[in-house]
Amino acid sequence: MATRRRTSSCSSAISKLNPGGAEERPTQQGKLQISSRAFRYLMFTSNVPVAFIAALSRPYLVCGTGLRMQSSIEWDFWCLIPIRAAVPCHFARSSDHRKSTAGSNQMDPFHYIHLSGDQTQEDNSSPAAARLQSHDIRSSHIGLFVKHSANTGRISVVVVNLLDARQQHLINEPLLKARKAIKQRSGSDAPMSPRFIYLIYLSSTLRWWNNALLCFNQHLVKHEKDLQEEIASETSAFSNRSKDINSSLHLMAAHLHRYKSELQRIDLILTELLSPKFDPSFLVEEGVHPKGLFVAQHSDRLKVENLISQLKAICSFADEIERKIKDILTLLFHQIQATNDKTLQAILMATQADTKLSQKISLQSHQLTVSMKSDSIAMKTIAIMTMIFLPATSFAAIFAMPFFTESEYMQALPHIWIWVALTVTFTALAFGVFFYVIHRQKGVDIEDEQDESGVSGEKKNM
């Protein structure tokens, strides 16, 4: 009867901590469904250590476990269980997550991670059209405090579930299991093992972890398929799809490192549950030997070992996912390198074509220069011939004017020396001016070349 009253009071306590009206305010995120006054009263009456409350108030900091020996036959033990649960995402667009603080800081593994699914398809009737739904892997913690008296077999349990109030199915699952276990033991005189509440919550926790990693792996496979399609399409540029895959993979890798450290914390808790302080043999020296407790403790140890085996499988799965992320990142790096090589090859081909065009332009410029040089020689020849004949013809035309033809002196043949003297003088003067201008132009060109060579030399020295 005493056991029934104890289990009945435990069931009543659990019912009070999980009232039926808890679903009335499911949108209050990050808030316990209990008043501050009731919470302080619960912590005080249960003699909960301050370290446990501090760990609950700062779940972003890592913490271990705590054991207190109240007496030789009474002890209490607390721990904080890290949780990762995969829940369907109900946002229509991935960009909607950026509106919240946690959604815009997904690179921090303390916050949740959004895993985008396939785009909405019109035809979902066939199995091939089945699409991967978007999920959010959200983090949380569950605080467990257990006080046990080996003399009376009394067990006091305080559970603080920090899961989002919108995830009622996850919150209620271990509570329903605990109620069922208490009801099954209500008709038995055998005392309950202090490990039972840890076994219930840790079994649910490992199942949530397994589902989260499975969802993680499914989206990782999706990214690998998308990357294979990008490689098969042989795009010449790094597409936006590849950029999204790259950022998603780095985001998943950052969260996976945190997942593995949290799984190690669960392993430490399970290792603690196998320690002798939870066994009756730990208290035999004090003369305390509860009837039937050895059988229950042995059964619980087997259950803990089963959970440890399951945890090892989950950790192995996490290692596999980590290696897969590295392989996909390597494949993405090769795809980026191949894209860069194609781009570089296109640039080199364009440069080669530009070089050929420059060679053609240079050849045409050379031909133009040769042609201009030929024209220059012809013009010089014409100028020289003009300078030779122009003074003679000019003076001949002048002396042929009526002003000179009417003079008998100018018509006399011996006076032709006047025309010859003027022609020779002005022809020599024209040649002198011509050669002076040419010489001066060459001097200016030489000075310009020297200035250009000096400037180029200064640039090289700089």
Percent of the chain with pLDDT over 90: 21
Boundaries of domain holding 450: 400-462
Does residue 55 register a pLDDT over 60? yes
Q: Return the pLDDT at 129.
A: 40
- Ranking 138-147, 391-400, 421-430 by mean pLDDT, the lowest is 391-400
- State whether 190 and 333 are in the same domain: yes
Does residue 13 register a pLDDT over 50? no
pLDDT (mean) for 34-45: 85
Does residue 17 register a pLDDT over 50? no
pLDDT tens per residue across span 245-266? 888 888 889 999 999 999 999 9
pLDDT (mean) for 378-389: 77
Place of tokens 């499914």: 218
Q: How confident is the model at residue 338 (pLDDT cuts 50, 70, 90)?
A: confident
pLDDT (mean) for 18-39: 59
- State whether 320 and 213 are in the same domain: yes
- State whether 83 and 176 are in the same domain: yes
Q: How confident is the model at residue 176 (pLDDT cuts 50, 70, 90)?
A: very high
Handedness of CA 213, 218, 222, 228 (dihedral sign): positive
pLDDT tens per residue across span 69-84? 887 778 889 999 999 9
- State whether 340 and 405 are in the same domain: no
- State whether 311 and 423 are in the same domain: no
- State whether 150 and 39 are in the same domain: yes
Q: How far apart are CA 417 and CA 420, in angstroms?
A: 5
> Which of 286, 268, 299 lies closest to 181 in space, CA to CA?
299
Q: Which of 346, 368, 392 is the last residue of a domain?
A: 346
- State whether 268 and 415 are in the same domain: no
- State whether 288 and 419 are in the same domain: no
Q: How far apart are CA 347 and CA 19, in angstroms?
A: 70
- State whether 234 and 325 are in the same domain: yes
Question: In terms of pLDDT, which residue wins out, 198 or 371?
Answer: 198
Q: Return the pLDDT at 141.
A: 92
Q: Give this prediction's pTM.
A: 0.68
Q: How confident is the model at residue 448 (pLDDT cuts 50, 70, 90)?
A: low
Q: Note whether residue 12 is domain-resident.
A: yes
CB 198 within 8 A of CB 273: yes
Q: Return the pLDDT at 286.
A: 46
Q: Note whether residue 445 is domain-resident.
A: yes
Q: Note whether residue 385 is domain-resident.
A: no
Question: In terms of pLDDT, which residue wins out, 207 or 7?
Answer: 207
Q: How confident is the model at residue 7 (pLDDT cuts 50, 70, 90)?
A: very low
- State whether 85 and 174 are in the same domain: yes
Report which listed range, 97-106, 216-225, 260-269, 323-332, is most confident.
260-269
Q: Tokens at residue 269, please?
A: 């808790």
Q: Note whether residue 261 is domain-resident.
A: yes
Q: Return the pLDDT at 205.
A: 95
Does residue 21 register a pLDDT over 60? no
Q: Which of 329, 346, 363 is the last residue of a domain?
A: 346
Does residue 97 register a pLDDT over 60? yes
> Which of 17, 20, 60, 22 lies closest to 167 in space, CA to CA?
22
Alpha-helical regions (H) of 68-122: none
- State whether 70 and 197 are in the same domain: yes
Handedness of CA 4, 6, 9, 11 (dihedral sign): negative
Q: Note whether residue 141 is domain-resident.
A: yes
- State whether 335 and 444 are in the same domain: no
The count of domains in the chain is: 2
Does residue 172 register a pLDDT over 80? yes
pLDDT (mean) for 216-229: 87
Q: How confident is the model at residue 411 (pLDDT cuts 50, 70, 90)?
A: low
Q: Which of 328, 346, 364 is the last residue of a domain?
A: 346
Q: Return the pLDDT at 293.
A: 57
Q: Return the pLDDT at 142.
A: 93
Q: Tokens at residue 172, please?
A: 């209620």
Beta strands in 128-214, from DSSP E residues, in sequence order: 135-149, 155-161
Q: Tokens at residue 227, please?
A: 């990357």
Q: Note whether residue 366 is domain-resident.
A: no
Q: Note whether residue 327 is domain-resident.
A: yes
- Ranking 55-69, 191-205, 295-309, 396-410 by mean pLDDT, the lowest is 396-410
Q: How far apart are CA 373 and CA 365, in angstroms?
A: 12
Q: Note whether residue 28 is domain-resident.
A: yes
Question: In terms of pLDDT, which residue wins out, 30 or 348?
Answer: 348
Question: In terms of pLDDT, which residue wins out, 311 or 227?
Answer: 311
The chain-wide mean pLDDT, for the chain, equals 78
Does residue 190 register a pLDDT over 70? no
Q: Return the pLDDT at 368.
A: 86
